[in-house]
Amino acid sequence: MRGDAKSMTVLSPRSAAEAVKAYAKSPAALPFAGGTDVMVGWNMGQLNGRAVLDLSRVAEWKKITVVSDGVDLGSLVTHAQIQAHPVLKKRFPLLTAACATVGAAQIQNRGTIGGNIANASPAGDTFPALAVYEATVRAVGPKGRRGVPLVEIFAGVKKTTLKPGELIEAIFLPFPDKTPTRGAFRKVGTRAAQAISKTVFAGLLWNGKGGVLEEARLAFGSMAPTVRRLHAVERFLRGRRLNDVSITAAAELLTNDVSPIDDIRSTREYRLRVSRNILMAFLKGELK
Ligand SMILES: Cc1cc2nc3c(=O)[nH]c(=O)nc-3n(C[C@H](O)[C@H](O)[C@H](O)COP(=O)(O)OP(=O)(O)OC[C@H]3O[C@@H](n4cnc5c(N)ncnc54)[C@H](O)[C@@H]3O)c2cc1C
């Protein structure tokens, strides 16, 4: 059955305060940002009879604000806006690269960063970049605001730790204390566009004194129910020299932090092999 607009109630708040109030009053309403995920359900009639909280008039959440210690992305900022922003391009290039791989131009023009996060797909392409930049998601609800580290906003496949009545207001990206020595983003899908990731990677490295690695931040998506930072690999690499022996040993630790599955898009074996190759190429400086 197709979507039946007449059976739905649309709540249209005109500000963030109105949106929070309307959602508190109608907690069963479905927030609607760009609608690129929601409309898939609409097409199948899954929204019939439901209330929808249309966020399109909440202007406060459409802004990118640069502050002294980072950048605040309103939850309704689109993937296209992120790609076009000069400060994000310069300071958070892995995020702009990730947004450029989401769907294709049509999806990037409508799809929002808040919708991508709230949708909580294991394959969300912005998540590894947000994880290595140590982004914080700011939720707002009837009890006020709270910041949640990006990796903790996900509770499982399509599940978040947002509390009833909470909406995503913004995502805060802190400027790293030091400019990373190297960073890379890589998505592997069936095609260059309109492909859901088989695996998706973001990595940052900081070289220290004496040729050893000071810090590595590494994350994969599509390799577990939620995005994963590679804590075991990161710990192993800290203070070591990068050479064939240490890089091979680091790649062997990958399964400490990820547990991919066989599904319609790929197999566990393929995902692991490709992800190991990506990780090793990144550590060798071969991934641009
Ligand atoms: C053809 C196609 C290709 C796609 N390709 C990709 C891809 O390559 N990579 C990728 O990561 N995704 C992809 N997507 C998924 C989708 O486009 C993205 O997740 C997008 O960022 C969702 O944003 P939206 O604003 O459209 O969300 P919506 O559809 O409006 O909402 C998505 C979910 O988030 C909730 N929500 C939205 N905003 C908020 C908020 N502020 N607070 C709380 N809850 C909220 C909604 O209730 C809904 O559950 C694709 C989708 C389609 C249809």
Q: Would you state the pLDDT for residue 5? A: 86
Q: Would you state the pLDDT for residue 283? A: 97
Is the CB of residue 116 below 6 angstroms from any atom belonging to ligand 1?
A: yes
Rounded to the nearest whole angstrom, what is the distance from the C-alpha of residue 30 to the centroid of ligand 1?
Answer: 12
pLDDT digits over 137-170, tens only?
999 999 999 999 999 999 999 999 999 999 999 9
Sign of CA dihedral 15, 20, 24, 28: positive
Is the CB of residue 104 below 6 angstroms from any atom belonging to ligand 1?
A: no
Task: Give the confidence band of 43 by pLDDT, cuts at 50, 70, 90.
Answer: confident
Q: Would you state the pLDDT for residue 158? A: 96
Residue 264 three-state SS: coil
pLDDT digits over 25-40, tens only?
999 999 999 999 999 8
Q: Return d(Cα 19, Cα 12) in angstroms, integer.
A: 8
Rounded to the nearest whole angstrom, what is the distance from the C-alpha of residue 284 to the centroid of ligand 1?
Answer: 34
Q: Return d(Cα 58, Cα 31) in angstroms, integer.
A: 12
* Residue whose CA is at the smallest distance from ligand 1 atom 33: 119
Q: Is the pLDDT of residue 14 over 80?
A: yes
For residue 70, the surrounding DSSP H or E stretch is strand 70-74
- Closest-CA residue to 99 (of 10, 169, 185, 41): 185
Q: Would you state the pLDDT for residue 42? A: 86
Residue from 40, 119, 169, 197 to probe ligand 1 pocket by mutation (most atoms less than 8 Å from CB)? 119
- Closest-CA residue to 230 (of 206, 251, 208, 212): 251
pTM: 0.96
Q: Residue 88 corresponds to which tokens in the numbers above? A: 């994000």
How many C-beta neighbours within 10 Å does residue 229 have? Answer: 19
Rounded to the nearest whole angstrom, what is the distance from the C-alpha of residue 119 to the centroid of ligand 1?
Answer: 6
Residue from 36, 60, 108, 199 to probe ligand 1 pocket by mutation (most atoms less than 8 Å from CB)? 36
Percentage of the chain lying above the pLDDT 90 cut: 84
Rounded to the nearest whole angstrom, what is the distance from the C-alpha of residue 276 to the centroid of ligand 1?
Answer: 28
* Residue whose CA is at the smallest distance from ligand 1 atom 46: 31
Q: Would you state the pLDDT for residue 197? A: 84
* Residue whose CA is at the smallest distance from ligand 1 atom 36: 115
Burial 194-223 (b: 16+ CB within 10 A, else e): ebbbbbbbbbbbbeeeeeebebbbbbbbbb
Is the CB of residue 114 below 6 angstroms from any atom belonging to ligand 1?
A: yes
Q: Return d(Cα 217, Cα 22) in angstroms, integer.
A: 39
Average pLDDT, the chain: 95
Instruction: Give the chain's length.
Output: 288
Better pLDDT: 44 or 215:
215
Is the CB of residue 122 below 6 angstroms from any atom belonging to ligand 1?
A: no
Q: Would you state the pLDDT for residue 190? A: 79
Q: Would you state the pLDDT for residue 98? A: 97
Could you give the domains of the chain?
5-54 (3.30.43), 59-174 (3.30.465.10), 182-284 (3.30.390.50)
Q: Would you state the pLDDT for residue 262? A: 77
Rounded to the nearest whole angstrom, what is the distance from the C-alpha of residue 112 to the centroid of ligand 1?
Answer: 6
Is the CB of residue 112 below 6 angstroms from any atom belonging to ligand 1?
A: yes
Is the CB of residue 74 below 6 angstroms from any atom belonging to ligand 1?
A: no
Q: Would you state the pLDDT for residue 193? A: 67
Is the CB of residue 100 below 6 angstroms from any atom belonging to ligand 1?
A: no
Is the CB of residue 190 below 6 angstroms from any atom belonging to ligand 1?
A: no
Q: Is the pLDDT of residue 1 over 70?
A: no
pLDDT digits over 164-207, tens only?
999 999 999 999 999 999 999 999 887 776 778 889 999 999 99
* Residue whose CA is at the smallest distance from ligand 1 atom 7: 102
pLDDT digits over 217-254, tens only?
999 998 999 999 999 999 999 999 999 999 999 999 99
Rounded to the nearest whole angstrom, what is the distance from the C-alpha of residue 39 to the centroid of ligand 1?
Answer: 9
Q: Would you state the pLDDT for residue 129? A: 98
